[in-house]
Amino acid sequence: MHFQEIIQTQQAYFRSQRTKPTHERKALLKQFKKMLVDNEQQLYKAVHADFGKSEHEAFLTEVAILIKDIEEAQRSLAKWTRANRVTTNLVNLPGRSYTVAEPYGQCLVIGAWNYPIQLSLAPAIAALAAGNTVILKPSELATNCAQCMAELVAKYFDPAVFTVVQGGIEETQALLAERFDKIFFTGSPAVGRIVYQAAAKQLTPVTLELGGKSPAIITASAHLNVAVKRLVWAKFLNAGQTCIAPDYVFVHTSVYDTCLELFKSQIEANDYRLDAHNYVQIINERHLERLERLIEKEKIFFGGKVDRNNRTIEPTILRDVNLDDLVMQEEIFGPLLPLIKYQDFEAVLQHIENNEKPLSAYLFSNDPSEQKIWENRLSFGGGCINDAIMHITNPNLPFGGVGQSGTGSYHGKAGFDTFSHFKSVFKKPTIFEVPLKYPPYTSSKLAWIKRLLRFS
Ligand code: NAD
């Protein structure tokens, strides 16, 4: 596989300076929005073909977010691209100091399959807004979405600016062997390592949007009905195939049995059936079998049925789960929710601290001291108090992980920043010169320098 031709074309385009003017970027964003709006039904069809997902959910989780992203970038581009003046220190006076956002150049975006359109196109929008060219490699597992994006991008964009390359491991590795100015990867920590190593060979800057087990806690002070309602929605959205889905829930012993019943009635109320258009399929057989293996039959409190023909698993609540159970050894990434009993808040915090830093964390508590401790103690990419997932929907909150759950962030201004290098410029007038730094060095010059440094 040779991608040199596409890469050279994009490099030449970038060096022609045509991606840089704000009006060019705005024109690309306008075209992007047109592509999404003109082909909304085609996108829904592709998402439905891959997951059996309803238009309602596809609109909310795939298309609406992208349109909002574009509008935000269109509105804010002038502000984001403006030089940012900073104070000039005494030693450098007279002079002006500022930072300028410059595009990296040619970007590689590698997407995941679970929200195949959003997770592939949102970074591309940020990269184009920041003035880069983009090669997008969507996940091969969401076949229909990958094909749909490839066709649409080819129809609406000059490949010298934005193009889609389809393929799996082999193609991704061939792409990674090339030199890019920035790599943006969404996927598992295991593949994140491969991407990071490939980038290191060329010293390419990377953003890694990874995953892991995101913990939720329901304390004795929580509003239980609200907690369960929000957790059920967050967990079973996209059948749990969400990087920031609550992976498991610690529930205080005193409210454990009440919560079990609430989970059951909330799941029933939500009517999670594929043919009722309230639920989605597991992406493929392999993942269905992986999830099936994680279900310990004797721990099922609710659900647990696997339908091979429909490729679905019922929303499943697992009770009395222990920390050494199989389901607690890997990111679940499916509709299984282990509820773990706890007595001691401190022990819960220690368990989370002893494991990899999660992409998200959720606390359901109305006790301000618990809230403060949770926020100060734990390290995680982002999270919510008394909600789950919704932090991702505020474009003013940077989205990303920390440690094993990722490095870097995006959405809104953070997305623009992620695809920009902020270069520092010091501009000095030529009319005036302080001779202190120049040889011959004398003791009086040194004394002056020391005096000046004390004041700057
Ligand atoms: P994945 O790591 O298997 O695949 C992601 C991409 O990497 C795909 O495009 C795939 O083609 C490519 N790839 C796979 N194996 C490769 C290899 N050996 N060498 C080079 N490239 C390879 O991830 P996935 O299964 O698509 O997604 C699930 C994971 O992604 C979960 O861990 C989830 O938490 C995480 N995720 C994170 C976010 C986020 O925003 N932080 C979003 C969605 C998913």
Q: Are 396 and 375 in contact (CB under 8 A)?
A: no
Structural contact between residues 29 and 74, judged by C-beta atoms closer than 8 angstroms: yes
| Cα–ligand 1 centroid distance for 141 (angstroms) | 10
Domain count, the chain: 2
- Arithmetic mean of pLDDT, 319-323: 96
**Contact, 85 vs 98, CB < 8 A?**
yes
Q: Quick check: is 428 in a domain?
A: no
Give tens-digit pLDDT for 176-192.
999 999 999 999 999 99
Q: Indicate whether 90 pLDDT > 90.
A: no
Collapse the DSSP code of 400 into the 3-class scheme (helix H, G, I; strand E, B; otherwise coil) and give the result.
coil
- 3-state secondary structure at position 141: coil
Q: Is 306 exposed, middle or buried (0-12, 13-18, 19+ CB in 10 A)?
A: middle
137 and 11 in a single domain? The answer is yes
pLDDT at 344 (0 to 100)? 97
Q: What is the mean pLDDT of the chain?
A: 96
User: Order of strands across the sheet with 96-103?
Assistant: 84-86, 96-103, 420-427
Q: How far away, in angstroms, is 121 Cα from ligand 1 center?
A: 15
Let me know whether 101 and 115 are in one domain.
yes
> Regarding beta strands 360-364 and 215-218, do their DSSP bridges make them parallel or antiparallel, or are they unpaired?
parallel
For residues 174 and 168, give the distance between their C-alpha atoms in angstroms, rounded to a whole number: 10
pTM over 0.75: yes
Domain annotation covers residue 454: no
pLDDT tens for each residue of 264-302: 999 999 999 999 999 999 999 999 999 999 999 999 999
187 lies in the same domain as 254: no
pLDDT of residue 106: 98
Q: Are 225 and 255 in contact (CB under 8 A)?
A: no
- Do 311 and 371 reside in the same domain of the chain? yes
Sign of the Cα torsion 434, 438, 443, 447 reads: positive
Ligand 1 proximal residues by C-beta, below 6 Å: 110-114, 119, 137, 139-140, 168-169, 172-173, 186-188, 191, 194, 209-211, 243, 331, 333, 359, 401, 406
One domain for residues 219 and 129: no
Whether 84 is in a domain gets the answer: yes
**53 and 200 co-located in one domain:** yes
For the cut 90, the answer to whether the pLDDT of residue 455 exceeds it is no
Output the pLDDT for position 456.
62
Per-residue DSSP letters for 196-259?
Answer: HHHHHHHT--EEEE-----EEEE-TTS-HHHHHHHHHHHHHGGGG--TTS--EEEEEHHHHHHH
Question: Model confidence over 405-440: pLDDT tens digits?
Answer: 999 999 999 999 999 999 999 999 998 888 899 999
CB of 175 within 8 A of CB of 199?
A: no
Write 14-23 long-range contacts (CB < 8 A, 24+): 14/103, 14/105, 14/106, 14/132, 14/133, 19/103, 19/128, 19/131, 19/132, 19/133, 19/161, 20/103, 20/131, 22/77, 22/78, 22/81
Same domain for 124 and 269?
A: no
Q: How confident is the model at residue 211 (pLDDT cuts 50, 70, 90)?
A: very high
Name the residue of 188, 359, 404, 405 to mutate for ligand 1: max ligand atoms within 8 A of Cβ: 188
The stretch 332-353 carries a mean pLDDT of: 98
pLDDT in tens, 214-266: 999 999 999 999 999 999 999 999 999 999 999 999 999 999 999 999 999 99
Question: What is the set of active-site residues?
Answer: 209, 243
Q: Check whether residue 191 and residue 123 sit in a common domain.
A: yes
Which of 12-16, 88-92, 268-272 is least confident? Answer: 88-92
Indicate if 366 and 231 belong to the same structural domain: yes
Which residue is listed with tokens 């079973």? 236
21 and 59: one domain? Answer: yes
Domain containing 251: what range?
215-399
CATH number at residue 232: 3.40.309.10
Give the whole-angstrom CA distance, residue 115 versus residue 389: 14
Q: For 139-178, how does the pLDDT look when each residue is reduced to its tens digit (9 = 90+)? A: 999 999 999 999 999 999 999 999 999 999 999 999 999 9
For 148, list phi and psi in degrees, rounded to 5: -65, -45
Residues 226 and 205 in one domain: no
Q: Which of 397, 385, 60 is nearest to 226 (CA)?
A: 385
The answer to whether 399 and 123 have CB atoms below 8 angstroms apart is no
Of 365, 399, 433, which residue is a domain's last? 399
- Asked if residue 265 and residue 174 are part of one domain, the reply reads no
**236 located within any domain:** yes
Give the integer Cα–Cα distance in Å for 64 and 70: 10
CATH number reported for the structural domain that contains residue 164 in this entry: 3.40.605.10
- Per DSSP, the three-state class of 407 is strand
CA distance 349 to 6: 49
**187 CA distance to ligand 1 centroid (A)?**
3
Provide the token pair at 444.
């009086």
Residue 275 within a domain: yes
The number of the ligand 1 atom at minimal distance from the alpha carbon of 190 is: 2
Spatial distance between the Cα atoms of 185 and 137, rounded to a whole number of angstroms:
10
- Output the residue whose Cα is nearest ligand 1's atom 8: 139
pLDDT over 90 at 91, yes or no: no
What is d(CA 237, CA 387) in angstroms, rounded to the nearest whole number? 14
Report if residue 436 sits inside a domain.
Answer: no
**Percentage above 70 pLDDT, the chain:** 99
pLDDT number for residue 1: 58
- All residues at 6 or more sequence positions from 227 whose CB lies less than 8 Å from its CB, including other chains: 218, 259, 364, 386
CB 383 within 8 A of CB 357: no
The CA distance from 103 to 19, in Å, is 9
The DSSP output letter for 436 is G
The residues pairing with 209 across neighbouring beta strands, listed in sequence order, are 186, 406
